[in-house]
Chain A
Amino acid sequence: MDPSVSAFQLLLTGDPALLGIVQLSLIVSMSAVGVATLVGVPIGACIALTHFPGRTTVIVVFNALMGLPPVVAGLAVFLLLSRSGPLGPLGLLFTPTAMVFAQVVLVTPIIAALTRQTIEDLWGEYRDELTAMNVGAVRRVGTLIWDGRFSLITIVLAGFGRAAAEVGAIIIVGGNIDGFTRTMTTAIALETSKGDIPLAIGLGVVLMAIVVLVNALAWAIGRAARQYAG
């Protein structure tokens, strides 16, 4: 049978192996993006609104880390979590938690750097008005995050895209263990090397569908933003 036909059969019949892999992939990537958002947005806002010695260096480092190779992130997390590493006693290596950890390391700089740019641009625009309104520091941060929410959502979606598509980091710290740490990207790599093309194609289709969905969502949010907020 043609591999692509087999792939669609797997998708249409809801193959348990395929669904399990998709489910784990989504859980890992969404968890990582959730944590990275909680960490990255405040860091980005803080860098945008404060001045401190070495600020420029911090900005350059975060910008550079947006291009952090996944395998390097995976290696760093592996060394942290390996038995002899500082977090070794936690026993997290080759677990989904380790994969979330690795993706947080990858995605946080993206969210922090882009948040910093968004908030800084917005602050440049709002500075006089908010100062004239005697808006306090906490409300100021809240206002900028709220008014930048559509851009920030797009940034988070970009982070999700990065997390969902990467393979290098999670294969190092997750180990690609069948039924436990196997995700769409690691499975595609493995199944292709094994010659199980239908499953690889099926997973590829799902992954592409997710990427398209995320981009469609980003576009819809941008459109809604223009209609609502001008």
Chain B
Amino acid sequence: MRAPSAELPICFRDVTVEAHGVTILDRITLALGAGSPTVLIGPNGSGKTTFLRIAMGLTLPSAGTITWGGRENVAPVRRAIVFQHPVMLRRTAAENLRYALKVSGRIPREVHDARIAELLSLVGLSGFGDRPARRMSGGEKQRLALARALARDPVVLFLDEPSASLDPAAAKAVEDVIRAVTARNIKIIMSTHDLGSARRLAGDIIFMHHGRVVEAGAASTFFTAPQSDEAKIFISGDLLV
């Protein structure tokens, strides 16, 4: 069982992000605790990616505060993120993982090889270790990015549209990895605009629109009894503008 973490809960208090006069996140207040995956949904441009970057600590809010385990300005030692378009280092798949292991410094060097093999196996890339990472397919890169994030032994893992633009087989492979990660008690916070993916993976839902959190709560409640008109429109598949 994982030890209690200093990373959780992640608390937003009146967090606002503005850029070039445009409000990207609008006075968001909520708390993200341990447990089942939290999925951010909403149409494109609703602020999901910025929310994840703020929660990861990559972007500073224009106003408001964010705390990790009750503290501000905590370095992302036990947090990891997989971007929508992950950038692979100019090395082999195995060397990408070794780099993350070295940087994290949490695992002795003599067991790096074993850990790399384990991570590649977890994401279904056994035998791909010697491949140049940048020449892998989109789905393979996404899974390798997941493995690289896991190499840092995170308590919280942020995923930005992890299955966007993947074919169904690749998307399923990524979702399988996400389930395996969840089973290891790693908190998943992911964004998607794919309602099917959200239904399959989410324990909690945060529904965003125009930079605001419109609804937040249990996924089962959200999908069966949405409270807001915007959520009803989005779930029905109509265009939400």
Given contacts A228-B132, A230-B134, contact A132 B76 (CB under 8 A): yes
B30 at the interface (CB under 8 A from A): no
Given contacts A229-B132, A230-B132, contact A132 B58 (CB under 8 A): yes
Q: Is the CB of A147 within 8 A of B132?
A: no
Q: Is the CB of B56 within 8 A of A134?
A: no
B58, B87, B152: which contacts A126 (Cβ < 8 A)? B87
Q: Is the CB of A133 within 8 A of B83?
A: no
A134, A150, A229: which contacts B103 (Cβ < 8 A)? A134
**Nearest Cβ in chain B — how far from A149, in angstroms?**
8
Cα distance A126–B90 in the bound complex, in angstroms: 10
A13 at the interface (CB under 8 A from B): no
Q: Is the CB of A230 within 8 A of B58?
A: no
Contacts of A128 in B (CB 8 A): 58, 83, 87
Contacts of A225 in B (CB 8 A): 90
Contacts of A143 in B (CB 8 A): 89, 99
A125, A139, A147: which contacts B91 (Cβ < 8 A)? A147
B135 at the interface (CB under 8 A from A): yes
* Proximity string of chain A (79-123) to chain B, C-beta cutoff 8 Å, 1 when within and 0 when not: 000000000000000000000000000000000000000000000
A135 at the interface (CB under 8 A from B): yes
A9 at the interface (CB under 8 A from B): no
A131 at the interface (CB under 8 A from B): yes
B80, B132, B135: which contacts A132 (Cβ < 8 A)? B80
Cα distance A228–B80 in the bound complex, in angstroms: 27
Q: Is the CB of A227 within 8 A of B132?
A: yes
**Nearest Cβ in chain A — how far from B156, in angstroms?**
12
* Proximity string of chain A (207-230) to chain B, C-beta cutoff 8 Å, 1 when within and 0 when not: 000000000000000000101111
* Proximity string of chain B (22-44) to chain A, C-beta cutoff 8 Å, 1 when within and 0 when not: 00000000000000000000000
B235 at the interface (CB under 8 A from A): no
**Nearest Cβ in chain A — how far from B186, in angstroms?**
16
Q: Of residues 6 to 22 in B, which have CB atoms within 8 Å of A's CB atoms?
A: none
> Is chain A's interface secondary structure helix, strand, loop, or mixed overall?
helix
* Proximity string of chain B (79-99) to chain A, C-beta cutoff 8 Å, 1 when within and 0 when not: 011010011111110000001
Q: Is the CB of B77 within 8 A of A134?
A: yes
* Proximity string of chain B (115-144) to chain A, C-beta cutoff 8 Å, 1 when within and 0 when not: 000000000000000001111000000000
**Chain A residue nearest to B79 in the complex (CB):** A132
A129 at the interface (CB under 8 A from B): yes
Given contacts A133-B100, A134-B103, contact A125 B80 (CB under 8 A): no
Cα distance A65–B132 in the bound complex, in angstroms: 37
Q: Is the CB of B152 within 8 A of A229?
A: no
Given contacts A134-B75, A228-B132, contact A129 B86 (CB under 8 A): yes
Q: Is the CB of B90 within 8 A of A230?
A: yes
Cα distance A139–B100 in the bound complex, in angstroms: 12
**Chain B residue nearest to A133 in the complex (CB):** B103
Cα distance A133–B80 in the bound complex, in angstroms: 7
Given contacts A132-B58, A132-B76, contact A229 B91 (CB under 8 A): yes
**Nearest Cβ in chain A — how far from B48, in angstroms?**
16
Ranked 8 nearest A-B pairs via Cβ: A230-B134, A229-B90, A230-B135, A230-B132, A147-B90, A132-B81, A129-B87, A133-B103
Binding site for A on B (CB under 8 A): 56, 58, 75-77, 80-81, 83, 86-92, 99-100, 103-104, 132-135, 152
Apart from the given pairs A128-B87, A129-B89, A143-B89, 6 other A-B contacts in the complex at a CB distance below 8 Å: A126-B87, A132-B83, A133-B104, A147-B90, A228-B92, A229-B132
